[in-house]
């Protein structure tokens, strides 16, 4: 796992202006190679020796609060011992939609457990990704304007799984 983290950190430093970065040669045409709005503002697809991942865009850091460990969404979708599948593991579906009404408010209420309640109402997005293996993952993203957050929602959303999306080029609270 530590090798995967090192590989990811190296690849993250690559130019983020391209739709996907890393060694993407041989990626099947069925692979999704760009992210929907607004995820493409904060993230990018990176081709790694362990498959494609969604992770922070250059100038951004996705991190777990308090642990400063990087956050990524792997197409291989395994907890440990990823196989060196390279471009054989990729996303076949990446869908993001804005939530509204009761569904958005319930998501915010769950997300803000353990936090001070924000006076501003965030835009709430649901993300579903499906890999070439057929496995899927779900997330919620919260855009407060001057801060962005994510939360893993596999079987159900877990407020303990929240992660920060930090824009390192921007002053805090600007």
Instruction: Encode pLDDT of 76-92 as tens digits.
Output: 999 889 999 999 999 99
CB neighbour class for 133 (10 Å; exposed up to 12, middle 13-18, buried from 19): middle
**Residue 174 included in any domain:** no
**Residue 119 included in any domain:** yes
Tokens 């319930």 — which residue?
A: 106
Question: What is the rounded distance in angstroms from the CA atom of residue 87 to the CA atom of residue 29?
Answer: 11
> What total number of domains does the chain contain?
1
Q: What is the pLDDT of residue 66?
A: 85
**Residue 18 included in any domain:** yes
Q: Of 125, 146, 144, 128, whose CA–CA distance to 136 is shortest?
A: 128
Instruction: Label residues 31-41 b or e (16+ Cβ within 10 Å = b).
Output: bbbebeeebee
Q: Grade residue 116 by pLDDT with cuts at 50, 70 and 90.
A: confident
**Residue 173 included in any domain:** no
Q: What is the pLDDT of residue 88?
A: 96
**Residue 79 included in any domain:** yes
**Residue 34 included in any domain:** yes
Question: What is the rounded distance in angstroms from the CA atom of residue 92 to the CA atom of residue 28?
Answer: 10
Q: Of 53, 63, 61, 44, whose CA–CA distance to 8 is shortest?
A: 53
Task: Report yes or no: 131 and 77 within 8 Å, Cβ to Cβ.
Answer: yes
Q: What is the pLDDT of residue 12?
A: 41
**pLDDT greater than 60 at residue 110:** yes
Q: Of 2, 20, 25, 22, whose CA–CA distance to 11 is shortest?
A: 22
Task: Report yes or no: 52 and 45 within 8 Å, Cβ to Cβ.
Answer: yes
Domain that residue 144 falls in = 2-167
The tens digit of pLDDT for each residue in 126-171 reads 999 999 999 999 999 999 998 999 999 988 999 999 999 999 987 7
Q: Grade residue 13 by pLDDT with cuts at 50, 70 and 90.
A: very low
Q: What is the pLDDT of residue 146?
A: 86
**Residue 99 included in any domain:** yes
């Amino acid at each position: 796992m530590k090798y995967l983290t090192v590989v990811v950190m190296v690849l993250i430093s690559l130019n983020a202006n391209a739709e996907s970065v890393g060694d993407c040669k041989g990626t099947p045409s069925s692979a999704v190679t760009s992210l929907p709005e607004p995820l493409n503002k904060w993230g990018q697809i990176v081709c790694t020796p362990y498959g494609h991942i969604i992770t922070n865009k250059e100038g951004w850091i996705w991190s777990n609060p308090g642990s400063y460990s990087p956050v990524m969404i792997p197409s291989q979708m395994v907890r440990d011992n990823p196989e060196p599948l390279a471009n054989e593991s990729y996303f076949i579906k990446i869908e993001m939609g804005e939530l509204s009404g009761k569904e958005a408010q319930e998501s915010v209420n769950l997300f803000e457990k353990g936090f001070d309640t924000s006076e501003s109402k965030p835009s709430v997005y649901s993300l579903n990704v499906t890999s070439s293996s057929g496995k899927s993952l779900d997330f919620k993203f919260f855009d407060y304007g001057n801060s962005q957050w994510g939360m893993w929602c596999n079987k159900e959303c877990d407020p303990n799984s929240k992660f920060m999306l930090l824009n390192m080029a921007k002053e805090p609270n600007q």
